[in-house]
Amino acid sequence: MRLFFAFTFENQIKQKIYENIKILQRYIPKGLKWVEKENLHITFRFLGETNPKIIDNLNEKIEICVKEFSSFSISFDNIEVIPNFHRPRLIWYKMIEESGISKKIFQAIETELSKLNFKKSNRPLKLHTTLGRIKYAKNQDWQAILKNVKPISEKILCKELTLFKSQLTSSGPIYSIVKKFPLSQNN
Burial of 12 (0-12, 13-18, 19+ CB in 10 A): exposed
Catalytic: which of 45, 61, 128, 165? 128
Catalytic: which of 41, 45, 61, 165? 41
The answer to whether 128 is a known catalytic residue is yes
Question: Which segments of the chain does DSSP mark as H helices, in order?
Answer: 11-27, 55-66, 101-115, 142-146
Sequence letter at residue 54? I
The answer to whether 86 is a known catalytic residue is no
* Residue 145 φ then ψ, to 5°: -65, -45
Whether residue 150 contacts residue 22, with contact meaning beta carbons closer than 8 Å, is answered with: no
Active site residues: 41, 128
